[in-house]
Amino acid sequence: MLRFKTIFLTLIISSCAYLNAVAQRTEILLDEGWKFSKGSFPTAAEPNFNDKAWETVSVPHDWAISGPFDKEIDKQITAITQNGEKVASEKTGRTGALPYIGEGWYRKNLNLPILKPNQKVLLQIDGAMSEPRVYLNGKLVGQWNYGYNYFYIDITNDLKSNGNQLAIHLNNKPKSSRWYPGAGLYRNVHLIIKDEKSVDQWGITVTTPIAKKEFAKVNIKTKITGNNVRLVTQILDQSGKQIAIDTAKSFFGNEADQNIPISNPNLWSPEAPYLYTSVSSVYDGNVLKDVVKTRFGVREISYQANKGFSLNGQVRKFKGVCLHHDLGPLGTAINTAALRRQLTILKEMGCDAIRSSHNMPSPEQLELCDEMGFMFLAESFDEWAKAKVENGYHLYFDTDAEKDIVNLVKATKNHPCIVMWSSGNEVPDQFGAEGVKRAKWLQEIFHREDPTRPVTVGMDQVKATMQSGFGALLDVPGLNYRVHLYNDAYTAFPQGFILGSETASTVSSRGIYKFPVVKGFDKQYEDFQSSSYDMEYCSWSNLPDDDFVMQDDKPWVIGEFVWTGFDYLGEPTPYDTSWPSRSSYFGISDLAGLPKDRYYLYKSRWNKTEATLHILPHWNWEGREGQTTPVFVYTSYDSAELFLNGKSLGIRKKDKSSPQNRYRLMWMDVKYEPGTLKVVALDSNGKPVKEAQVKTAGKPAKIILTADRNEITADGKDLSYVTVSVVDKNGNICPTATDQLNFEVTGAGKFKAVCNGDATSLESFEMPTMKLFSGKLVVTIISDKKGGKIQLNVKGKSLTSGLIEIVSTK
């Protein structure tokens, strides 16, 4: 009997191996071998068009990030109503001052495998900026308008047996954005080859209507093209082991509906982001026609009046940040390593949620949030029918909004990280009955496509939405700033909770400190920088501490999404009328990804697994001897003692006398003298438990290099970010150094980009030279496909060079 089982098992394994070998679905990433040129070429769609002189590029690609920065690019004369402006003024750098405007063409030869009878070929584009028009062999085969959305085209009937030519035309209009939108095929392009009898593209919907520690019900709806097929669905755990299998009993139309139980499931959460995989296999008789794998998480979300948001039965508040889609010096061209670095930095801060602002997120970002444990607020539009910018989304709203939402939901609905949708951000339609109708219409589309998640809108016109009923109809009322109206909104809206959908908008420049230190809004200085004492904000926003009070004292406030996690290209408030200034100051980390002081303020509240103790400012203040130089400490401890050159300057303890005193320790009357500034954190018994210090540095002497990853993958895409610092002869960081440095990369990789985090810098990200800003900058290295050792050598005048080795492995 035992021998029979062994033989039978062997036959099953052999049969499965054969069936998988003839499975029809193939996905090809169209990343290399593209020809690109910017400009208008009326015949560029034709297969015989001569593109030999065009640039050869890989996709994802952002044609504008190479620069140069130019004040005249997309200069807008406007009054920004979201900022309360009444009079129009010249806005420079609002969209990054990079050359994204204009037409661009991409062309590629499609070298397809030999197609079998009854196969279909789909072309999927994850994002193209903007208005993509897709041509195959000279024929227009598909188009879209919204540059942030995903779409696919069935190109089967337009393919030739060989020699196919794909061409994509893009058009970026001036005055089409409020930030740097990027340009080009900035997300991935895929070819999907599959049998006619197969799972529809985006045709699988996985939900977990029951998600308890003891038991989960996994509901899988699968849309299939083709008659007389059999659907077998397996569920695999994170190690790849099968834990459940089910054959669909019946089809309703072209859809199978399966309920599959899991005992003692691992529940998905930011703290334990466990992922399962469903494997959907379509058979025609005994012939395997299609296999689709779908990752999902078992989790339960709930939003309840006076209780707030719950994940897996546990009430919690969102510790979130907003992110624009650019990756700093890489521009908008999507890169998984760059995204992972961003999320790693945020995770270490204690962040557990992301809001895509104000656009549809990339598949790669959602996959990483699934894996790393970030809840996600997936946003759709920055405009509805009423305009913010002359050539914005309002041009397409009436014709495209529904299909854009449908594609967003269908393409991303299986990501467990997504816990909420947003149909808009600060739309001018918040006023009046028409806006209420639009909000209701959009929300109902989301509900139709996905009944499992709620919908919000980021509202800045809170009084108007209280009067019109706009805010009352939303599943989740989201308030952008307006903390002084939280109580009124809570009383006026029936939901019983409020979300801080956009908070703070505090501005700062890493390592820059201004005196005297006083709270204030819209402050401007001759150097076009903002103070990193974190006491400056905008006329329409507030300091982080004001949001902390609401989060801590109001159980009906369900969390916040801080504007923003990282600085981004464009929107250089409060210097949007000043030049040079071409990127934001809102970030908790700067454009290079280097944490500002504010990072540690949030970490002291959000990171519950690691103690925080951070002291500011730096202690190099030649010329300020004897002058008042306040010292702030951001810490998870309640009290600390400050010492200057060994002398105690007293103990400070957090209290509720003001929002700042509640969350920061501040010594406002410190007189500067060179030396060592040290802080000692005290526990509840007054005993020392941790210390931190800053020292007055001497002249810059040596370059120090530190990589975020010393080993990367040799795939031609993986990145290592190397932080470059300068120290004095004793090894002390030189916080004011501005030396010009040069970079050389040799071996199995190449120089990709450099950034110093200075919003006023006009140096190219792609040239191997740049000045330090506040003593630091970051060099990005990209691997080749050969593998081996990569060396980065950094040099500066009168400085000992820095050298670091990165290993690239296959």
| Bridge partners, 800 (sequence order) | 702
Evaluate if residue 757 carries a pLDDT over 60.
yes
The 8-class DSSP code of residue 83 comes to G
Does pLDDT of 437 surpass 90?
yes
What CATH number is given for 702-809 in this structure? 2.60.40.10
Across 729-754, average pLDDT: 98
Residue of 300, 426, 449, 571 marked catalytic:
426
Which tokens belong to 517? Answer: 């230190």
Q: Is the per-residue pLDDT at 13 higher than 70?
A: no
Question: Do you know the residue count of the chain?
Answer: 810
Query: Is 214 an annotated catalytic residue?
Result: no
How confident is the model over 295-343, as pLDDT tens digits? 999 999 999 998 999 999 999 999 999 999 999 999 999 999 999 999 9
Q: Residue 112 contacts by C-beta under 8 Å, 6 or more apart in sequence?
A: 121, 159, 162, 164, 191, 193
Hey, where are the domains in the chain? 25-58+102-172+181-299, 319-505+540-568, 613-695, 702-809
Confidence (pLDDT) at 76:
87
- The pLDDT score that the predictor gives to residue 77 is 81
Is 426 assigned a catalytic role? Answer: yes
Residue 585 is predicted with a pLDDT of: 98
Q: Which of 131, 300, 379, 502 is catalytic?
A: 502
Encode pLDDT of 764-788 as tens digits: 999 999 999 999 999 999 999 999 9
Is it the case that residue 546 has pLDDT exceeding 50? yes
Q: Count other C-beta atoms under 10 Å from residue 804's C-beta.
A: 20
CA distance 711 to 498: 44
∠ at Cα 438 (434, 443), nearest 5°? 150
pTM for the structure as a whole: 0.95
State how far the Cα of 67 lies from the Cα of 76, in Å rounded to an integer.
19
Mean pLDDT, all residues of the chain: 95
Q: Nearest-CA neighbor of 648 among 605, 675, 679?
A: 679
Which residues face 570 on adjacent strands? Answer: none
Identify the pLDDT of residue 52.
Answer: 96
Which alpha helices (H) appear in 413-506, and where do they start and end?
432-449, 462-468, 470-473, 486-492
Architecture of domain 319-505+540-568: Alpha-Beta Barrel (3.20)
Q: What pLDDT, on a 0 to 100 scale, did the predictor assign at position 78? A: 81
Q: Which CATH class is domain 25-58+102-172+181-299?
A: mainly beta
- 288 vs 655: CA distance, rounded Å: 67
177 with 569: CB under 8 angstroms? no
Is the pLDDT confidence value at 19 over 60? Answer: no
User: What is the predicted pLDDT for the residue at 7?
Assistant: 29
613-695: CATH number: 2.60.40.10
- Region 76-96: what's the mean pLDDT? 83
pLDDT surpasses 70 at 802: yes
pLDDT digits (tens, 9 = 90+) for 232-287: 999 999 999 999 999 999 899 899 999 999 999 999 999 999 999 999 999 999 99
Question: Residue 21: its pLDDT value, please?
Answer: 42
Residue 618 contacts residue 610 (beta carbons within 8 Å):
no
95: nearest Cα among 362, 399, 326: 326
Confidence class for position 6, pLDDT limits 50, 70, 90: very low
Same fold, 319-505+540-568 and 613-695: no
pLDDT at 88: 82
The pLDDT-based confidence of 521 (bands split at 50, 70, 90) is: very high
Give pLDDT, residue 14: 33
Query: What's the confidence (pLDDT) of residue 391?
Result: 97
Question: If pLDDT is split at 50, 70 and 90, which confidence band does 10 have?
Answer: very low
Give percent of the chain with pLDDT exceeding 90.
93
